[in-house]
Amino acid sequence: MAATTFKAIYNDDDVLMNAVKKIRSEKYHIEEVYTPFPVHGLDKAMGLADTRIAITSFMYGCLGLTVAIVMMNYIMIADWPQDIGGKPSFSYLENMPAFVPIMFEMTVFFAAHLMVITFYLRSRMWPFKKAENPDVRTTDDHFLVEVEVGDDEEALKSLLLETGAVEVHVPKKK
């Protein structure tokens, strides 16, 4: 038997934060929370693990820096060395101060673009994907909490109403 979920709708982010803390303290499992804007501290209140996206950003930046160094060394030193302003191109290290802006820009370029791609892939946000939002009001001014139903449905419903929910949607029994 598949677990069903109650959908509780809130109209204030402070009420939502207190509700999430109260629901978790009562040992109910929160499936998902939909909000129209980021709510600071909600991830901690839900008990979610810290994100590792900063580590990937650092790795993408290192990749961009490496590509920049290899590219500049090949283009400006190995492939077509030029004597610009009386400064000969005998080695990469002699000319590195002139290449610093290119290294910085390539580092930022790789980190930014690959982070966007990683975010979309991790969030499963493909082009032309249909929205999975259960209530259209959560894109405007309401907050929705999906709570997995345990053994006592009435206790959960009263808990959700007690925490300040303006609506509680109970799944229909088949």
Q: Are residues 73 and 110 in the same domain?
A: yes
Pairing of strands 143-148, 167-169: unpaired
Alpha-helix runs per DSSP H in 26-147 = 42-46, 53-72, 92-122
pLDDT one-digit tens code per residue, 33-62? 999 999 999 999 999 888 888 899 999 999
Q: How many other CB atoms are there within 10 angstroms of residue 135's CB atom?
A: 15
| Exposure of 130 in the CB half-sphere (CA atoms within 13 A) | 2
**Residue 1: its pLDDT value, please?**
38
DSSP 48: P
CATH number of the domain within which 159 lies: 3.30.70.260
Residue 131 inside a domain? The answer is no
- pLDDT reading at 88 higher than 70: no
81 and 108 housed in the same domain: yes
Q: How much is the CA Rg of the chain, to the nearest whole Å?
A: 26
- Do residues 117 and 162 both lie within one domain? no
In a domain, 45, yes or no: no
pLDDT at 173: 64
Q: Is residue 28 part of a domain?
A: yes
My answer on whether 60 and 104 are in the same domain is yes
Helix (H, G, I), strand (E, B) or coil at 82: coil
Residue 93: both structure tokens together = 């290290």
Written as six digits, the tokens of 165 are 């929910």
Closest CA to 42 of 19, 67, 73: 19
In a 3-state reduction of DSSP, which class is residue 1?
Answer: coil
Is the pTM for the entire model greater than 0.75? no
The number of distinct structural domains making up the chain is 2
Residue 136 lies in a domain: no
The more confident residue out of 148 and 126 is 148
Query: 79 with 107, same domain?
Result: yes
**Mean pLDDT of the region 62-76:** 93
How far is 67 from 109, CA to CA, in rounded Å?
A: 11
Same domain, yes or no, for 32 and 68? no
* Domain, as residue range, for 83: 53-122
Structural contact between residues 7 and 156, judged by C-beta atoms closer than 8 angstroms:
no
Residues sharing a CB contact under 8 Å with residue 31, sequence separation 6 or more, in sequence order: 5, 146, 147, 148
Adjacency order of strands within the sheet including 143-148: 30-34, 143-148, 5-10, 167-169
